[in-house]
């Protein structure tokens, strides 16, 4: 199987915010824009893969709304043309801080079926600790306005919540805020950073993240929140044979690729974007050629080798050693957290089953 998710950074790491915990090592001094020509080249390369029939384009940043609508408009028309020619399906989603959202963007998103995800770390006082404009003003109010604007026009908004030392102690307040904003699908991403040539983890101590997720799950079970954690979907999906679809659970980083504004290709946006980790550039190589290089093969092999470390773990099939960029000495930094959470899911499932067994009269007729 080839690459079916492309994380595209149409303005590189350029952003209108200056979040204190931003994972990018050294913010660019100016905004660099991907050309339409490069955007089309990326579309060509992804559609050209013989063994891929569905492609997800994830527009990321930095802040992708710093690229004008006219850019996306051209690229989306081109995707449509390629899809008609090849019969392959595709989808676009955008990860945006929503602070630049206006009616024109909303209209454009609706017209093009764009899936919107924003970044929100909880209520104002928690969100604004880290997520602010260069003048230090917190971004919460602008995000809230963006969410309302999108929802008024019928667009669903999902969210990523970065879990850091600042908010890990407040699962109830965070869920309450997402409920207030009518956002149910939230990915809780542990805070990380890139420094020089490596991804640095993290501000959370082992166990803190797992406990946080367990609490959110409890709130959901008790009917106190509508926020679902994706870990539960991935775990349950795995137990009943559904295909898991999030890389940090499937262990398939090799289905992903990250492409910067200039066409530089990396394995992921969590990878430091520098020469050490760059596989090459799409101006001079095809995607297929880059995935055949010794450097790329080495990357895939190292991920597979690290998974061997976990083979005896009872949760291996659901976890696969977590995100490959968040490993320390080959093991997922949040290994303990996953074990806490997965064993908790198991307990809840067993409790439900034994409760149902007790109440099921068809079971009782076989007893003396």
Note whether 345 binds ligand SF4 by CB under 6 A.
no
Note whether 315 binds ligand SF4 by CB under 6 A.
yes
* Residue span binding ligand SF4 (CB under 6 A) among the ranges 35-43, 70-78, 152-160, 327-335: 327-335
From candidates 193, 316, 330, 343, binder to ligand SF4 by CB under 6 A = 316
Residues 15, 187: Cα–Cα separation, whole Å: 21
Place of tokens 């408009």: 73
Note whether 338 binds ligand SF4 by CB under 6 A.
yes
Note whether 321 binds ligand SF4 by CB under 6 A.
yes
CB 78 to ligand SF4: min, Å: 25
Residues 34, 292: Cα–Cα separation, whole Å: 25
Residues 244, 250: Cα–Cα separation, whole Å: 6
Note whether 60 binds ligand SF4 by CB under 6 A.
no
Q: How many CB atoms lie within 10 A of CB 171?
A: 23
CB 321 to ligand SF4: min, Å: 5
Handedness of CA 336, 341, 344, 350 (dihedral sign): negative
From candidates 248, 273, 287, 345, binder to ligand SF4 by CB under 6 A = 248
> Residues 6 or more apart from 292 whose CB is under 8 A from it?
none
CB 10 to ligand SF4: min, Å: 19
From candidates 97, 324, 341, 344, binder to ligand SF4 by CB under 6 A = 324
User: What is the size of the binding site for ligand SF4 (CB under 6 A)?
Assistant: 21
Task: Please identify, using beta-carbon distances, which residue of 3 and 42 lies nearer to ligand SF4.
Answer: 3
* Residue span binding ligand SF4 (CB under 6 A) among the ranges 37-45, 146-154, 246-254, 287-295: 246-254
Task: Please identify, using beta-carbon distances, which residue of 159 and 323 lies nearer to ligand SF4.
Answer: 323
Task: Please identify, using beta-carbon distances, which residue of 194 and 324 lies nearer to ligand SF4.
Answer: 324
Note whether 23 binds ligand SF4 by CB under 6 A.
no
CB 198 to ligand SF4: min, Å: 13
Task: Please identify, using beta-carbon distances, which residue of 9 and 338 lies nearer to ligand SF4.
Answer: 338
Residues 125, 46: Cα–Cα separation, whole Å: 42
From candidates 126, 335, 340, 341, binder to ligand SF4 by CB under 6 A = 335
> Within positions 138 to 197, which residues make up the interface with ligand SF4, using CB under 6 A?
none
Note whether 313 binds ligand SF4 by CB under 6 A.
yes
* Residue span binding ligand SF4 (CB under 6 A) among the ranges 39-47, 66-74, 111-119, 323-331: 323-331
Task: Please identify, using beta-carbon distances, which residue of 94 and 323 lies nearer to ligand SF4.
Answer: 323
CB 272 to ligand SF4: min, Å: 11
CB 201 to ligand SF4: min, Å: 11
12-32 b/e (C-beta count within 10 Å ≥ 16 → b)? bbbbbbebebbbbbeeeeebb
Task: Please identify, using beta-carbon distances, which residue of 3 and 150 lies nearer to ligand SF4.
Answer: 3
> Within positions 255 to 294, which residues make up the interface with ligand SF4, using CB under 6 A?
256, 268, 270
Residues that bind ligand SF4 (CB under 6 A): 247-248, 253, 256, 268, 270, 310, 313, 315-316, 319, 321-325, 331-332, 335, 338-339
């Amino acid at each position: 199987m080839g690459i079916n998710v492309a994380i595209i950074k149409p303005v590189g790491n350029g952003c209108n915010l200056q979040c204190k915990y931003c994972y990018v090592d050294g913010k660019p001094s100016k905004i660099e824009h991907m050309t339409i020509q490069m955007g089309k080249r990326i579309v060509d390369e992804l559609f050209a893969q013989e063994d891929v029939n569905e492609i997800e384009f994830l527009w990321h940043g930095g802040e992708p709304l710093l690229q004008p609508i006219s850019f996306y408009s051209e690229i989306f028309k081109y995707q449509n043309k390629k899809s008609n020619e090849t019969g392959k399906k595709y989808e676009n989603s955008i990860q945006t801080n929503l602070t630049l959202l206006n009616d024109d963007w909303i209209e454009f998103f609706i017209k093009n079926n764009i899936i919107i995800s924003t970044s929100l770390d909880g209520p104002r006082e928690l969100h604004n600790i880290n997520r602010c404009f260069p003048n230090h003003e917190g971004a919460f109010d602008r995000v809230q306005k963006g969410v309302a604007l999108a929802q008024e026009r019928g667009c669903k908004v999902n969210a990523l919540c970065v879990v850091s030392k600042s908010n890990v102690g407040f699962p109830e307040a965070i869920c309450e805020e997402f409920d207030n904003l009518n956002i149910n699908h939230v990915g809780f991403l542990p805070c990380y950073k890139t420094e020089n040539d490596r991804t640095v983890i993290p501000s959370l101590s082992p166990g803190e993240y797992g406990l946080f997720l367990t609490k959110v799950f409890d709130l959901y079970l008790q009917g106190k929140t509508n926020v679902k954690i994706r870990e539960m979907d991935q775990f349950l999906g795995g137990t009943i044979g559904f295909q898991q679809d999030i890389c940090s659970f499937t262990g398939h980083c090799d289905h992903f690729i990250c492409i910067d504004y200039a066409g530089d290709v990396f394995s992921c946006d969590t990878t430091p974007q520098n020469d050490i980790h760059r596989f090459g550039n799409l101006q001079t190589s095809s995607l297929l050629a880059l995935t055949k290089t010794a450097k790329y093969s080495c990357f895939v092999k190292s991920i597979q080798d690290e998974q061997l470390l976990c083979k005896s773990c009872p949760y291996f099939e659901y976890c696969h050693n977590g995100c490959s960029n968040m490993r320390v000495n080959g093991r997922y930094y949040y290994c303990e957290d996953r074990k806490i959470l997965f064993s908790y899911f198991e307990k809840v499932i067993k409790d439900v089953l034994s409760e149902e067994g007790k109440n099921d009269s068809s079971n009782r007729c076989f007893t003396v």
